[in-house]
Amino acid sequence: MFEAKTVQEQYAICENDPLKILIVGAGIAGITAAQMLRNDGYHPVLIERNRNETHPGYMLALMPMVDPVLDDLGIRNKYRDHSVAFSRYGLHKHDGELLREDSMAAILNRFGEYRGIARGELLEVLTSAGCTVAFHTIVTEIKETAEAVMATFKTGEAIYQLPFDLIIIADGIHSHTRRLVLGKQAVDMVDTHWGGWVVWAPADDAMDLGEELWGDGFFYGVYPVKDHLGVFLGGNIRDTTAGPKQFVDRIRSKLKHIDARMESCLQAVTHTEEPFFWELNDCRCPRWTFGKVLLLGDAAAGFLPTAGIGAGMAMESAWVLTRMLRYADKQHIAQLLQAYENAQRPRVEAAQGNSRQLARMMFRQSKLWAILREWIMRLVSIEMALKPIQKLLANQPDPDHLAQQALKK
């Protein structure tokens, strides 16, 4: 639950904190960091450029790397109530026929829970204890001095400046604040030139089954969440410009097999008014740490949704960072931030690399390639395909050890 409070009101509450912390961006990474810090007794100032808490509606499949966040915040039961177990995965051929169905539970449950949740439901769970935020507010300048990091804010027409000990930039893949610290350093951007619509279809009797179809010039995915099926249907941007109805008609002409669930989902794409359109691109920053300023989540490394791991990695990164900050004081913030980046960035970029690799396989406009891809998937087990993710889950970071080692140097 969000509670609107101005920057000045929030700042007055954090006056006696050991560290004055500003978090820019009330998305998944920013809210996770804010709630973790608040759980530890801090009162970070949280701002959001949007005018209210409305957010794009899309679905997430969260891997078990989010479990430590849920446990530390004491929200695991709420999370279960607002999500569904994702235990089976079905892959369809390019003509719609089911190619294979695999058990995700048999592969991932040894590490923890794998569940589907709508983004809005996740934010509701994360903010269930209350979450103060200043809406319609941006940072226009960041300047570090010997004593503090000065942030210049703009709320409406009002402009003002406040000092902080730490600024966390978490305002998304197209971060407006990131450029204030990156300067002329380039961000590595991947634009797939693909995008598609996200809609909600009615729940059915297989709410543990996610399905995908990597077609000839299109991608169809169905991911169950609480009370709904989250549907993504997309393709090359030039093919989607005609609109969802025309695109669905085009897809139908390519499919020989349309089962009841697929029909329901295609109908949802056709009939949903003003569906959310998701452009599929990512970003990778050359560095995350700038003295006492840090990039977090999509602002540091934004993911393509192809491996279903981006939101989970953002939450894990926020957890690692805030756990390490338990050891921070004003003199050692920069040292701890650099240790955090040294440990977490290779891990995040490995996961991001896996998403990029899958995108190169998926986002192709060729029937021959679609057939070849199916032949490969007949030979490669889902266990093998998930090896990179299993490796990440089996080797989760120890933030307490990382912080202690950093402070010994």
Give 300-350 pLDDT, tens digit per residue: 999 999 888 999 999 999 999 999 999 999 999 999 999 999 999 999 999
The mean per-residue pLDDT over the stretch 359-371 comes to 80
- Report if residue 155 sits inside a domain: yes
Tokens linked to 374: 């199916």
| Per-residue pLDDT reduced to its tens digit, 194-225 | 999 999 999 999 999 999 999 989 999 999 99
| Total residues found in the chain within this entry | 409
CATH number, domain at 298? 3.50.50.60
- Report if residue 216 sits inside a domain: no
Q: Is a pLDDT exceeding 70 seen at residue 55?
A: no
Domain hosting residue 330, numbered range: 2-86+114-189+284-361
- Report if residue 55 sits inside a domain: yes
| Per-residue pLDDT reduced to its tens digit, 123-161 | 999 999 999 999 999 999 999 998 999 999 999 899 999
The reply to whether the predicted model has a pTM over 0.85 is: yes
- Report if residue 18 sits inside a domain: yes
Q: How far apart are the first and last CA of the chain?
A: 41
- Other Cβ atoms closer than 10 A to 212: 17
Report the distance separating Cα 361 and Cα 376, nearest Å. 11
What distance lies between CA 296 and its chain's CA centroid?
11
Number of domains within the chain: 1
pLDDT of residue 405: 93
DSSP SS3 for 348: helix
- Report if residue 330 sits inside a domain: yes
- Report if residue 233 sits inside a domain: no
Interstrand relation of 137-144 and 149-155 (parallel, antiparallel or unpaired): antiparallel
Q: Which residue has the higher pLDDT, 396 or 366?
A: 396
Tokens linked to 358: 């899958």
H helix or E strand, kind and range, residue 289: strand 289-290
- Report if residue 272 sits inside a domain: no
- Report if residue 389 sits inside a domain: no
